[in-house]
Structure 1
Amino acid sequence: MRNQFFSKGKKLSVGDPMTDALWDSCLSQKFQILSAYQWTPISVIERTWKYLSLDRVTSLVDLGSGVGKFCIHLSLLSNHSIDILGLEDREELVDVSESLKKHWDVSKVQFRKENFLKQFPEGHSHYYCFNPLYETMKGSHSIDLQKQKSANQFLKDLQTLKQNLLLLKPKTKLITFHGFGGNSLTGFRIVLKEEIAGGEYLIWERE
């Protein structure tokens, strides 16, 4: 049975450019209205592949993968050449991601219902996050009200994330869009900094 949060959408024809509107048309209205705030823009995914295609990438993890947009479209751009893992702790979003994975016919993408703060996946060459701690901030455009929102919770989660990132091996890359929750990252150096789609795009390397 098709997931209740998933819309059939439209498949691409050969040569058609991908757009956010086209990709998001596969989502229900509930998730389409969050797209500009919660799901990675196509231009950011394309920039990521441009970088990764020239880098030594073996596997990539999306920390807080949402509806799976980043993981799925990156796999399509890479012609399914990268092992990609999306971690998301909301079951309904994992269900949506699995439905979209079938829709776009991507085989080298896996989604798991996990909280990356509690079960951090070590050993990958690259990591990606789109401000994954936003849901604990007292801001607008939240996905839902499941997360506790407070300054104390945010700072606690930020410290946990930073400690987890310090476990990464030297030369591991962390790619962030709209940040990871903080402004500085001990043990990492910035190798690329750009403005894309109205947000700050950074690539960090573990020293």
Structure 2
Amino acid sequence: MVFKLLRSDVDVDDGTFNGLYSPKIRELAARHWTPVDVAKMASQYLVESSNDKVLDIGAGAGKFCLVGAACTNGRFYGVEQRESLVRISNNLAKKHDIQNVEFIHANIDQVSFEDYDAFYFYNSFYENLDQSCPIDNSILPNRDLYYTYTKYLRDQLQKMPIGTRVVTYWSGWDEIPLSFNMEYTACNGLLNFWRKSI
């Protein structure tokens, strides 16, 4: 029912969507999973043409990709280093017959950015700095890793062609190269829409 509503452009509140997950995953939603309205805004900006490929960098429990796949004609890919979350996400997609989404168990530095048209980033590297609300105990804080991942993302985006689109949420913008212009912003400056111009 949730995905049918999203496909019909009916608003779905986060409590309803998060009800698709187990209690443990629901408990993490406010801190770690993209709100439905944010996911809709971001995915509608990122998908300009049918079958545009959008990569969610650090997909977590898959919420952004699942919402985006339900409310656009794009193809959504979520890369996530926790295999348990990849299983949850792929199972939800299969259960609800969402065919334009795929979740990949990998680290971000194992992904070829050239395979994608647009990117979503909800500051997934920040868990390497802040352990005040961890997803689990499998990732230990590592400041150097935060900077390594951020530099890798910035370098990969720099190699992308003019017109590449990126949406960041709760980001410090360190991963955005100077070749990208912010086209607009929402959610009191927390959600930002970028396009490569040079």
For residues 135-150 of structure 1, the aligned pairs below 5 Å read: 135-150=127-142
Is 1:33 the counterpart of 2:33? The answer is: no
Contact preservation (8 Å) 1:62, 1:127: yes
For residues 187-206 of structure 1, the aligned pairs below 5 Å read: 187-195=179-187, 200-206=190-196
1:81-119 deviation per Cα after TM superposition (whole angstroms, max 9, x unaligned):
211111111100000001111232200111111111232
Number of equivalences? 192
2:102 counterpart residue number: 110
CA distance in 2: counterparts of 1:150 and 1:161, whole angstroms? 17
Residue from 36, 47, 50 that aligns with 1:42: 36
Bigger share in helix? 2
TM-score by length of 1: 0.83
Q: Which runs of 5+ in 1 are unaligned?
A: 1-10
Amino acid in the other structure paired with 1:112: I
1:62 counterpart residue number: 56
Q: Which runs of 5+ in 2 are unaligned?
A: none
Cα RMSD of the aligned pairs, angstroms, is 2.2
Contact preservation (8 Å) 1:158, 1:181: no
Distance 1:180 1:165, change over 3 A: farther
2:157 counterpart residue number: 165
Q: Calculate percent identity across the aligned residue pairs.
A: 24
Displacement of 1:51 in angstroms is 2.9
Contact preservation (8 Å) 1:75, 1:82: yes
Displacement of 1:184 in angstroms is 5.3
Between 34-43 and 12-21, the greater mean CA deviation after superposition: 12-21
Displacement of 1:19 in angstroms is 1.3
Is 1:178 the counterpart of 2:170? The answer is: yes
Displacement of 1:156 in angstroms is 2.1
Residue from 135, 144, 148 that aligns with 1:156: 148
Displacement of 1:34 in angstroms is 0.4
Between 14-23 and 142-151, the greater mean CA deviation after superposition: 14-23
Amino acid in the other structure paired with 1:82: G
TM-score by length of 2: 0.86
Between 28-37 and 183-192, the greater mean CA deviation after superposition: 183-192
CA distance in 2: counterparts of 1:22 and 1:205, whole angstroms? 32
Displacement of 1:50 in angstroms is 4.1
2:115 counterpart residue number: 123
CA distance in 1: counterparts of 2:46 and 2:14, whole angstroms? 21
1:3 counterpart residue number: none
1:32-72 deviation per Cα after TM superposition (whole angstroms, max 9, x unaligned):
1100011000110121244346x346211111111111111
1:101 counterpart residue number: 93
